[in-house]
Amino acid sequence: MQQIAAQIPWFHNCVLLDELSESGDRIWYAKITVQHGWGRNVFVHQIESALHNCQEKAVTNFDQTLASPQSDLAQQIIKDPYNLDFLMLGSEAHERDLERGLLEHVRQFLLELGVGFAFVGSQYRLEVGNSKFFIDLLF
């Protein structure tokens, strides 16, 4: 732990000692902080949101639908969890609820960016020949 502790700022070490009681958790946060170069605010946020408890716990069906080498690779791609707490969705939320919540935040974000950004729509309908297609998001 001494080598890892020497690689992060003093403030980070103080937070590790004040906020976490398990030495394994302290080591995990110190290693990942060095790996990602987290600043003060990001570091504190990750501890407060208990990132170590949800790391690599994304729910998928890769092991049931893909062969072993491919399922392991696919799982590694999405091993970091998405933190969607800002959407205020309950456990009974459906995919459509998630889409609506994210869309509203995308719209707000684009409005804040100002001129030069365009959000045309979601589930944008296109007809090609006799076929109909829907684009999830069209910018």
Looking at residue 85, the DSSP 8-state letter turns out to be G
With a cut of 90, say whether residue 127 has pLDDT above it.
yes
Span 23-28, average pLDDT? 88
pLDDT in tens, 4-24: 888 888 898 899 999 988 888
- Beta bridge mates, 138: 121
In one-letter notation, the amino acid at residue 112 is E
DSSP 3-state of 17: helix
pLDDT, position 76 = 66
d(CA 90, CA 32): 29
Please report, for residues 11, 21, 25, 123, the alpha-carbon distance to residue 17 in angstroms, rounded to integers and kept in the order given. Answer: 10, 7, 10, 48
d(CA 46, CA 117): 31
What's the pLDDT band for 84 if we cut at 50, 70, 90?
confident
pLDDT, position 130 = 94
Q: How far apart are the first and last CA of the chain?
A: 47
pLDDT in tens, 89-125: 888 888 888 888 888 888 888 878 877 878 888 889 9
d(CA 90, CA 98): 10
CB 12 within 8 A of CB 4: no
Provide the token pair at 27: 């080591």
pLDDT, position 64 = 82
DSSP 3-state of 66: coil
pLDDT, position 74 = 74
d(CA 103, CA 97): 10
